[in-house]
């Protein structure tokens, strides 16, 4: 039996005492954990030490590279077209991938979107797309490459072979209170994106009540860390800092978010969803060598919609099929005349989750028709009795707990609360 080059307890003590781990130590740690030599309780102690004491820039880079090395990497060199990808840190009503991927692909840029499922109040892109009858998330490598070449956009489930160390580590962080550690978040996201093989990456890093990272300063720190990791790995990377204090768009759920995305692709849709889609598209296309692409025109003339239809059909979905609708609905109306002053993202996300749009455990099913449709946004004038939002579910017993989550989540007053701009900054 081979002798291990390091003792994990020594490494834990080093990090506990605010020391620095070497490239060789971090490479061994990730490999030993992936193959089961380092136990979960030992890695739990290490992640807590990292959470409390942080990591240097070199340590974060070495951790990320070790996680990439734990599995396979993809390459698109023979594709014949540039690649550009996007990652969002997630939020309430964040359906941007759906209109964005076909929009960018309609300019001849390949968009390889390996996406995930929702857990908690932030919805998963795959859950949304699976509300389209027939659509499938799992593709073979051959299907994946063929669709990238022929259609240009692929949104599918990541294979287990990409950064498997991250899969183990993420599950552990989720149950040990260490999810929010910036070195662990950054290495988790970027190990998968770099292993995916894209040449360019645009990050949508959110802050605010409905975001994974609520504090703007912490969000900026995360964005800067991830942009640097991308550049260290030779991936052209930029980040936008975007506001998630208010739900994005008017639809929160799965099927209803698909409907809203199709409205955007048809040249309509809510102004904030359109603004963020266009801003991210410009960044992705600029990194791919097309800084002057007419993204507004591609929405207006049907170019992006044509690519959407081909993208859905390539994965056996029917873009013309009716989307699921809920059996029960409950509408909440304004109690007075005035201005919709506040509308907090997190409570609306939790309410949609309680209606069945999300899952508490990875094994839980998602109810595709469940969710919330907003009828007004902060700043809109409302009159007494006017609908503010409608909740949808197949199980009416869920309405009570959803309404509990929304207690105090919105208000009517003389003027709207200033939540700030949708796009608050850029990191490159």
**What pLDDT score was predicted for residue 116?**
75
**What pLDDT score was predicted for residue 66?**
97
Sole residue written with tokens 């990456």: 201
**What pLDDT score was predicted for residue 307?**
98
Interval 381-411: pLDDT, tens:
999 999 999 999 999 999 999 999 999 999 9
Set 87, 95, 168, 206: catalytic member: 87
Write down the pTM of the prediction.
0.94
Could you give all domains of the chain from N- to C-terminal order, each with its CATH number? 77-159+195-314 (3.40.1030.10), 328-413 (3.90.1170.30)
Set 62, 85, 94, 166: catalytic member: 166
- The band of 361, judged by pLDDT with boundaries at 50, 70 and 90, is low
**Rounded average pLDDT over 267-285:** 98
**Rounded average pLDDT over 27-45:** 96
**Rounded average pLDDT over 346-369:** 87
Roughly what angle, to the nearest 10 degrees, separates helices 303-314 and 141-150? 160
**What pLDDT score was predicted for residue 82?**
96
**What pLDDT score was predicted for residue 260?**
98
Would you give the DSSP letter of residue 311? H
| Residue 138 bears catalytic tag | no
- Three-class SS state of 302: coil
- The band of 372, judged by pLDDT with boundaries at 50, 70 and 90, is very high
- The band of 120, judged by pLDDT with boundaries at 50, 70 and 90, is low
| Residue 192 bears catalytic tag | yes
| Residue 375 bears catalytic tag | no
In angstroms, the CA 135 to CA 123 distance is: 17
**How far, in Å, are 51, 169, 360 from residue 183 at the CA level?**
8, 12, 25
| Residue 87 bears catalytic tag | yes
Tokens of 119: 């857990």
Would you give the DSSP letter of residue 353? I
Buried b (16+ CB within 10 A) or exposed e, 196-229: bbbbbbbbbbbbbbbbbbbebebbbbbbbbbbbb
**Rounded average pLDDT over 30-53:** 96
| Residue 231 bears catalytic tag | no
* Percentage of the residues of the chain whose pLDDT score is greater than 70: 97
Interval 140-159: pLDDT, tens:
989 999 999 999 999 998 87
Asked if pLDDT for residue 40 goes beyond 70, the answer is yes
**What pLDDT score was predicted for residue 363?**
67
Give just the sign of the alpha carbon dihedral 14, 20, 24, 27.
Answer: positive
> Is the CB of residue 237 less than 8 Å from the CB of residue 230?
yes
- Three-class SS state of 123: coil
- Three-class SS state of 216: helix
Tokens of 117: 């499922």
* Percentage of the residues of the chain whose pLDDT score is greater than 90: 86
> Is the CB of residue 73 less than 8 Å from the CB of residue 197?
yes
Would you give the DSSP letter of residue 413? E
Tokens of 18: 């605010």
Set 15, 192, 282, 368: catalytic member: 192
Contacts of 125 (CB under 8 A, 6+ apart): 95, 97, 98, 113, 115, 116, 155
Interval 300-324: pLDDT, tens:
999 999 999 999 999 999 999 999 9
Sort residue 211 into left (φ over 0), alpha (ψ -120 to 50) or beta: beta
Set 173, 193, 236, 282: catalytic member: 173
Sole residue written with tokens 């509990």: 404
Contacts of 85 (CB under 8 A, 6+ apart): 111, 112, 113, 193, 196, 198, 200, 201, 202, 284
**What pLDDT score was predicted for residue 69?**
95
Interval 168-194: pLDDT, tens:
998 888 788 888 899 999 999 999 999
**What pLDDT score was predicted for residue 121?**
66
**What pLDDT score was predicted for residue 3?**
87
Interval 326-354: pLDDT, tens:
999 999 999 999 999 999 999 999 999 99
**What pLDDT score was predicted for residue 67?**
96
> Is the CB of residue 198 less than 8 Å from the CB of residue 68?
no
> Is the CB of residue 326 less than 8 Å from the CB of residue 399?
no
Asked if pLDDT for residue 360 goes beyond 80, the answer is no
**What pLDDT score was predicted for residue 340?**
98
Sole residue written with tokens 């979905």: 317
Give just the sign of the alpha carbon dihedral 170, 176, 177, 183.
Answer: negative
Set 106, 188, 219, 279: catalytic member: 188
Helices and strands in the chain, H and E counts = 16, 13
Averaged pLDDT of the chain: 94
- The band of 122, judged by pLDDT with boundaries at 50, 70 and 90, is low
Count other C-beta atoms under 10 Å from residue 361's C-beta. Answer: 6
**What pLDDT score was predicted for residue 1?**
67
**What pLDDT score was predicted for residue 258?**
98
């Amino acid at each position: 039996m081979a002798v291990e080059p390091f003792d994990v307890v020594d490494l834990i003590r080093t990090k506990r005492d605010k020391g620095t781990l070497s490239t060789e130590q971090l490479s061994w740690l990730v490999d030993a954990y992936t193959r089961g030599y380092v136990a979960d309780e030992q890695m739990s102690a290490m992640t807590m030490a990292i959470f409390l004491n942080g990591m240097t820039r070199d340590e974060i880079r070495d951790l990320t590279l070790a996680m990439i090395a734990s599995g396979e990497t993809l390459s698109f060199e023979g594709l014949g077209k540039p690649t550009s990808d996007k990652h969002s840190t997630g939020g309430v009503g964040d359906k941007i991938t759906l209109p964005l991927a076909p929009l960018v692909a309609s300019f001849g840029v390949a968009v390889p979107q390996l996406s995930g499922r929702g857990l908690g109040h932030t919805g998963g892109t795959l859950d949304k797309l699976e509300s389209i009858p027939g659509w499938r998330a799992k593709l073979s490598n051959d299907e994946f490459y063929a669709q990238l070449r022929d259609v240009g956009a692929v949104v599918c489930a990541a294979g287990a072979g990409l950064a498997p160390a991250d899969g183990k580590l993420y599950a552990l962080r989720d149950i040990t209170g260490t999810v929010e550690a910036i070195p662990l978040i950054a290495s988790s996201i970027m190990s998968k994106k770099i292993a995916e093989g894209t040449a360019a990456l645009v990050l949508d890093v959110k802050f605010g009540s409905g975001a994974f990272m609520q504090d703007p300063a912490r969000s900026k720190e995360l964005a800067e860390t991830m942009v640097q990791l991308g550049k260290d790995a030779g991936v052209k990377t930029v980040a936008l800092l975007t506001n998630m204090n208010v739900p994005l768009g008017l639809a929160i759920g799965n099927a209803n978010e698909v409907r809203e995305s199709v409205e955007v692709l048809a040249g309509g849709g809510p102004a904030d969803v359109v603004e963020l889609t266009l801003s991210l598209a410009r960044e992705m296309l600029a990194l791919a060598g097309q800084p002057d692409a007419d993204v507004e025109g591609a929405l207006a003339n049907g170019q992006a919609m044509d690519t959407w239809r081909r993208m859905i059909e390539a994965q056996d979905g029917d873009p013309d099929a009716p989307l699921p609708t809920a059996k029960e609905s409950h509408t909440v109306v304004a109690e007075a005349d005035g201005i919709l002053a506040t509308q907090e993202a997190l409570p609306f996300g939790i309410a949609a989750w309680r209606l069945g749009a999300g899952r508490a455990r990875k094994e839980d099913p998602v109810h595709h028709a469940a969710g919330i449709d907003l009828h007004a946004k902060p700043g809109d004038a409302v009159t007494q009795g006017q609908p503010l939002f409608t909740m949808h579910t197949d199980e009416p017993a869920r309405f009570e707990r959803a309404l509990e989550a929304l207690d105090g989540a919105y208000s009517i007053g003389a003027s709207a609360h200033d939540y700030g701009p949708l796009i608050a900054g850029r990191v490159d």
